[in-house]
Structure 1
Amino acid sequence: MNPYLLPGIYVDFEHPEVSALARQLARDTVSGDELVRKCFEFVRDEIRHSVDFKLNPVTCKASEVLQYRTGYCYAKSHLLAALLRANGIPTGLCYQRLSIGDRGAPYCLHGLNAVFLKEHGWYRIDARGNKPGVDAAFCPPKEKLAFSLQEPNERDLPEIWAEPLPIVVQVLERFNTYDQVLANLPDVELLR
């Protein structure tokens, strides 16, 4: 579990504002699940998704997401991992491969988290941000993610990563505006 508890360049929970928020969210919690729910709901509800709100700048590090209160799903997952890891809860990064349109190509990655819950093991949560047609929640043991798979080339990638995928970081660090990222969303080739 150690890699899922460590700070990193993008999951930078040692940053003063991130660690202060992690401590604040932990106050008065009576269980690990309650703490996970509080952190999840903060990121889901208080950090605006860059595309939904047409917001800049493009953020990547957890501390940037918190500073600007905006981020793509990937960046929001970095902040959620940072808040949970700062509180000693093993948290990883996960990805889905989804169709950008209604059906079929092109595809892109969607970023979310997996958290280790003592009662349930690894459990995926998606703090992307709710909107009409998207209703993610923390309700273990049932997963309630933002998106369900709709066709054969969409996938839940099975890995739980300790650090973000390089292709995700490259896109978030290369482009300066939300619409530039939107035009260049990261994707991976599927192994057949």
Structure 2
Amino acid sequence: MQLIQETPDLSAYLVADEAIDHHHPLVRETAAELARGVANSYEYARAAFEFMRDTIPHSQDSGDLRVTWRASDVLEQGTGICYAKAHALAALLRAEDIPTALCYQRLDVVHGLVAVRFNGTWHRQDPRGNKPGVDAQFSLDGERLAFTPDPASGETDWPVLYAAPHPIVLDALKSADDRPHLWETLPTAL
């Protein structure tokens, strides 16, 4: 699949916004901790991915009813669904000047991922969190995502790389009172 940048301006994929608030002190502190002892940006990106995948549980898996959407809130509260975890990973990567995009799959609902840019190429990553049957890994050599869409079931990978969270996704997160409410309003299309 050919990934398509929403904007040709690569600097757009380094910007902070209301969801990817990489200037927030907690995001900066977490990024600095993760950067200690790593030799290069590739090692940092792997460490940030593994931190987000393994340390911040997916709220559905953990039974947490809270809904987070801002990167700093994900880090502070230690929970999030795929979109929120993607926002937090994007913030951690952008905090270290690694261009990071948000991207999506259509499964039974819209699923959120990130793409990192290394050596002139985008590489999609899924920080959702592993569990039985889900084994996402950081990879610049072929995708190791949590889910593979089934085209026969109407599932697909959307090729657009967004510089900011898609408004439909952000609206769903921000308007949900709790995770059960969010589950009733998850978008099924962008």
The answer to whether the superposition gives a TM-score over 0.5 is yes
Give the secondary-structure state (helix, strand or coil) at the position aligned to 1:137.
coil
Q: Partners in 1 of 2:24 and 2:66 — Cα distance?
A: 19
Bigger share in strand = 1
Aligned to 1:112: 113
User: C-alpha deviations, 1:140-184, integer Å up to 9, x for none?
Assistant: 211100000123311100000010011111111111211111122
Ranges in structure 2 where 5+ consecutive residues have no aligned partner: 1-9
Contact kept? 2:123, 2:139, Cα under 8 Å: no
Aligned to 1:175: 176
Q: Partners in 2 of 1:64 and 1:139 — Cα distance?
A: 27
Bigger share in helix = 2
Task: Percent identity, please.
Answer: 46
Q: Partners in 1 of 2:57 and 2:177 — Cα distance?
A: 17
Give the secondary-structure state (helix, strand or coil) at the position aligned to 1:71.
coil
Which among 90, 99, 103 is matched to residue 90 of structure 1? 99
Aligned to 1:20: 29
1:170 counterpart letter in structure 2 = D
Q: How far apart are 1:139 and its partner, in Å?
A: 2.5
**Is 1:140 the counterpart of 2:140 in the alignment?**
yes
Contact kept? 2:168, 2:187, Cα under 8 Å: yes
TM-score with structure 2 setting the length? 0.92
Aligned to 1:127: 127
Moved over 2 A (4+): none
Aligned length: 180
TM-score with structure 1 setting the length? 0.91
Ranges in structure 1 where 5+ consecutive residues have no aligned partner: 100-107
Which among 62, 66, 70 is matched to residue 75 of structure 2? 66
Give the secondary-structure state (helix, strand or coil) at the position aligned to 1:70.
coil
**Is 1:29 the counterpart of 2:30 in the alignment?**
no
